[in-house]
Amino acid sequence: MFLRILNSNNIRKRLFGGLLLFVLSFIIYVNFNQNVKNCYFDITWKDGRTLRSVAENSRLESVVNPKNIFFHETSCSLDGIVKMNSRQACAVESAALMNPGHQVYVLFTSQVGFRNTTQLPIIDALLSYPNIHFNYLNLTQYAAHTPLAKWMKSQELFKSHYVNSHTSDILRYLSLWKYSGTYLDLDVVVLKSFDSINTNFAGAESNNFVAAGIINLENDSGHKIADMCVKDLLKNFNGADWGNNGPGVITRVCQEICHTKNVSEMITMNNCENFHVLPIESCYSIRWPEHIKFFKKEFLNETLQRLNHSIIAHVWNKHSAATPLNVNSNVAYINLAKRYCPKVVAVSEFF
């Protein structure tokens, strides 16, 4: 009898402990997401350093322009200062350098800015290009008058397990829907002018996936695809699945317009409703399990040769960013950086 009471007390204690742990984790989880939301919406700076918003960028708002290039920086800034690391800046510079006739927009979801640019040599290097523009965007306003307006207001996005990453996923389709042009990830080096490529394209990453690191959508045919992507997001958004809302979206849309799930067949067809799925070598020649090949000198020749016919080099920062790289390293990434982002290289000691 006594033993049994002791036991059930123990059980109660454990149950209580478990419950407490659950409640605590829940509070921490909710708070974390609340922070992400706040960092996008609630922090404003009264000292005039905030970037102008997209809505104030007359160049962007006035016309739909196929010669737009978009980058989105969706990380949380709690100090309101524009930051980019050398690799991100290299992506932006290479896009602007290889496409002087295009306008390159770097859009921040956190309200960031700077008083003056003299303390940020990397940002100065970028802003020395007349076709690079930095703007802040307010998510609610950005989605207004699009199929995602109501969804964005519902704040479903902030329940995601990967808010920053999923915000970036959503914005790429939204920007192309609103303005048309080309979306690029911040962990690429652009190796070619987009003018030399058929319009309306994305790159195959494997036999099963079309990836979303570069997507070009132009003209009415492209807008139709953008519309399908945005509507796929509305229907299939899943905050618990990392890949579902980026590559998942363009892959499902390609399956529909190409009438096959076989990515090799999509590539062979070359034209699904005026949309082109490019072969793996075009954009993801070095796939993520091999990302180390960008950063080790024994792979220099192999890597450069495999990128010879590529439009971009995608360097998989999610897997590779932890290793700082000296600017004098004799590796493929630095070799490309010196050619395609010389101004960022000139002010960077490490990448």
Give me the residues that bind ligand NAG (CB under 6 A), please. 41, 44, 115-116, 118-119, 138, 140-141, 198-200, 219-221, 262, 264-265, 274, 301, 304-305, 308
Residue 265 CB, nearest approach to ligand NAG (Å): 5
Residue 148 CB, nearest approach to ligand NAG (Å): 14
Displacement of CA 175 from its chain's centroid (Å):
12
> CB-wise, 114 or 173, nearer to ligand NAG?
114
Residue 301 CB, nearest approach to ligand NAG (Å): 4
Residue 343 CB, nearest approach to ligand NAG (Å): 20
> CB-wise, 19 or 304, nearer to ligand NAG?
304
Residue 196 CB, nearest approach to ligand NAG (Å): 13
Residue 216 CB, nearest approach to ligand NAG (Å): 10
User: What is the distance between the terminal CA atoms of the chain, rounded to a whole angstrom?
Assistant: 69
Q: Which of 184, 186, 188, 166 is nearest to 176 (CA)?
A: 184
**Angle (nearest 5°) at CA 92 between 91 and 96:** 120
Burial bucket for residue 281 (CB in 10 Å: 0-12, 13-18, 19+): middle
| Cα–Cα separations (whole angstroms), residue 173 to 61, 114, 336 | 17, 28, 28
**Angle (nearest 5°) at CA 69 between 64 and 73:** 115
Output the CA torsion 280→277→169→137 (10° steps): 110
> CB-wise, 222 or 247, nearer to ligand NAG?
222
**Angle (nearest 5°) at CA 100 between 50 and 294:** 85
Alpha carbon distance 203, 191 (integer Å):
15
> CB-wise, 198 or 326, nearer to ligand NAG?
198
Alpha carbon distance 27, 185 (integer Å):
33
Residue 337 CB, nearest approach to ligand NAG (Å): 15
Looking at residue 69, its amino acid is I
> CB-wise, 8 or 301, nearer to ligand NAG?
301
> CB-wise, 155 or 219, nearer to ligand NAG?
219
> CB-wise, 95 or 258, nearer to ligand NAG?
258
